[in-house]
């Protein structure tokens, strides 16, 4: 009976953690945008 509720809570937690980590990555990249490693990362991702 409570199994679907537990799955829904676990899924929401995973979604929240994923979105939080993505937001944190974007904030770090915005703050460090003048660093050489950020430019290299952008160039690598652009050629995919």
pLDDT in tens, 2-47: 899 999 999 999 999 999 999 999 999 999 999 999 989 888 887 6
User: 21-47 in b/e burial notation, b at 16+ Cβ within 10 A?
Assistant: eeeeeeeeeeeeeeeeeeeeeeeeeee
| pLDDT at res. 48 | 58
Q: Which residues span the domain enclosing 30?
A: 3-46
Report pTM. 0.72
Number of separate domains in the chain:
1
d(CA 22, CA 29): 11
């Amino acid at each position: 009976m409570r199994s679907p509720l537990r799955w829904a809570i676990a899924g929401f937690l995973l979604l929240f953690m994923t979105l939080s980590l993505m937001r944190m990555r974007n904030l770090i990249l915005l703050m460090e945008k003048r660093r050489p490693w950020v430019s290299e990362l952008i160039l690598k991702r652009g050629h995919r």
